[in-house]
Amino acid sequence: MAADRERQIARRFHDRTAHSPASIRMSGHTLDWDVKPFLFKVYTDLPAVPLPRAFDPVSMDTLLALAGDAPAPAQSLGLDELAALLYHAAGVTRKKEYPGGGEVLFRAAPSTGALYQTEVYVAVGAVDGLEPGLYHFCPGDFALRRLRDGDVRGALAAAAAEAALARRAATVVLTAIYWRNTWKYEARAYRHLFWDSGTMLANLTAVAGALGLQPRLLAGFVDPEVNHLLGLDADREAALELVALGPEGPPGAPPAPLPAVAHPILPLSSAEVDYPALREIHRASMLETEAAVRAWRAGGGGPLSTTTATATGLVGAPAPGRPAAAAATGLEGAPAPGPPASFIALPEPRREAGRGLGETIQHRGSTRQFGRTPLAAAELATVLAAATAGFDADFPAGLVDLYLIVNAAEDIPPGAYGYRRESGSLELVRAGPYRSESAYLCLEQALGGDAAAVIYFLAPLDTILERFGNRGYRLANLEAGLAGGRAYLAAYAQGFGASGLTFYDAQVVEFFSPHAAGKDAIFVTALGRAARRATTR
């Protein structure tokens, strides 16, 4: 009963932060530009350790990298590779100046409202050219700053209940600073923390894989211990995910109690607004002990389905420990309610795009206006396969299902569909032209109607919460963000564009029902060709 009540925290949070036409019109929230948070975390008393700018260009073909077609494992991790990784995950890739003097420094990964609340830390054990220690990465001056001296991998391994972290060369930790995003989005920002760290992880895991660094993503860890290790003010910033990188070597020192660190930082703004609902759901989804991490992984960590996509030959083999995404939760499981299904077989996804991963990331930018031109069916199939390809993590794939509104794709009649990855096909939910409905569902944004196709990520949230507790809420949003980020990369690699979008929650579910009855809308990504060259920025 207590567990049931506990789980209701995520359900309640999700429902209370739902967008609807009424909630948007009645919100009353305005942006207070005087307190817009600064977009970089600046440690004022720590010397910068500059990163080399002549780093590896990560030239592996983008689609091969997304399919997990990794080179031989790297024998070492050097500063150049670490710099390449940090740049392509979180670096400043473009500067845009606006008439009147405004300037935005756009980053490698997309982020809601360009607010960039995701911060990056690295626990370094064996990186050639870098002292062991705990570092913060600042994209502003492309430098690291050491927060702790000495090897902290043992402490991180204990906090993550994953002994291998003490032997892997380095582990990246992603966090989020709440106020950067709540300033604009209020409590709903909690969802964005996982969408945006997800898009960053799409870049980071693809680049790490392409460099032979065998990334392993961990969503389970003792939150208070990792927050303490990083020296975070846990009411304002929290660790979200860990990614272990590089070869294994001799283990770091065994964990010993770590003193508190609290290096001074520049305030983000002169005033902040607290959103207790956000802190409540984060606290309710924490794991407090190593035993709890182990139990959480053992209980929820198995695959939701034994189905993998490998049988179809459409994609490469899944990474060890994690099947390629094959949604067992609805689309791949029991038949959906309604009339007998009809399917459209998608063409074979393209294996290569002819564009290196580093180049794709450098030129990526959310499409601000889609032309209404169609995509080829193979282009769409390639995005869908890349978005859902497997990779190594401590939670199973397939928590979210991909639904689509196809507005304009060659050989695919306009309509609403469910994507079935294991067979590489689209299941027809409803035929018809739905451009105006799609724009409406995406919070009445034209992007949703002008796109060639729009992916709606839906998940059986209650089932996920039953299995993973409140932390399942993090997983559903994270997986959708990650898949959305991979969709961006697959689209730009093929020469067209993408944009993440927000949405009207209940209306999305209603649109795809009865097929999607009982699920929740989690995230949206639109795909298509930019209206004019200049608009893909």
Ligand X SMILES: Cc1cc2nc3c(=O)[nH]c(=O)nc-3n(C[C@H](O)[C@H](O)[C@H](O)COP(=O)(O)O)c2cc1C
With CB under 6 A as the contact rule, the residue among 499, 515, 519, 529 that binds ligand X is 499
Please report, as residue ranges, which positions from 263 to 302 form the binding site for ligand X (by CB under 6 A).
none
Q: Does 253 bind ligand X (CB under 6 A)?
A: no
* Residues 448-487 as x/- pattern, contact with ligand X by CB under 6 A: ---------------------------------x------
With CB under 6 A as the contact rule, the residue among 13, 106, 135, 417 that binds ligand X is 106
What's the rounded Cα separation, in Å, for the pair 327 and 331? 6
Please report, as residue ranges, which positions from 365 to 384 form the binding site for ligand X (by CB under 6 A).
365-366
With CB under 6 A as the contact rule, the residue among 209, 218, 502, 505 that binds ligand X is 502
Contacts 24+ apart (CB under 8 A), 266-271: 266/38, 266/41, 266/42, 266/44, 267/38, 268/37, 268/38, 268/177, 268/179, 268/180, 269/34, 269/35, 269/36, 269/37, 269/38, 269/179, 269/183, 270/34, 270/35, 271/35
Range in contact with ligand X (rule: CB under 6 A) among 108-116, 160-168, 272-280, 349-357: 108-116
With CB under 6 A as the contact rule, the residue among 139, 231, 500, 528 that binds ligand X is 500
**CA dist list (Å): 149 to 123, 130, 136, 146, 364:** 10, 11, 12, 7, 36
Nearest residue by C-beta to ligand X?
A: 500
User: CB of 197: closest distance to ligand X in angstroms?
Assistant: 10
Q: Does 112 bind ligand X (CB under 6 A)?
A: yes
Burial class (CB in 10 A: 0-12, 13-18, 19+), 506: middle
Q: Does 312 bind ligand X (CB under 6 A)?
A: no
Q: Report residue 21 as tokens.
A: 């036409």
Q: Does 197 bind ligand X (CB under 6 A)?
A: no
Q: Does 62 bind ligand X (CB under 6 A)?
A: no
User: CB of 39: closest distance to ligand X in angstroms?
Assistant: 11
Q: Are 456 and 441 in contact (CB under 8 A)?
A: yes
User: CB of 236: closest distance to ligand X in angstroms?
Assistant: 21
Containing 499, the helix (H) or strand (E) segment is: strand 497-501
* Residues 424-453 as x/- pattern, contact with ligand X by CB under 6 A: ---------------------x-x------
User: CB of 350: closest distance to ligand X in angstroms?
Assistant: 23
**CA dist list (Å): 242 to 21, 197, 390, 476:** 37, 11, 17, 17
Closest CA to 242 of 271, 217, 262, 261: 217
Strands 103-107 and 143-149: unpaired
Note the residues at the interface with ligand X (CB under 6 A): 106, 110-114, 195-196, 199, 365-366, 445, 447, 481, 499-502
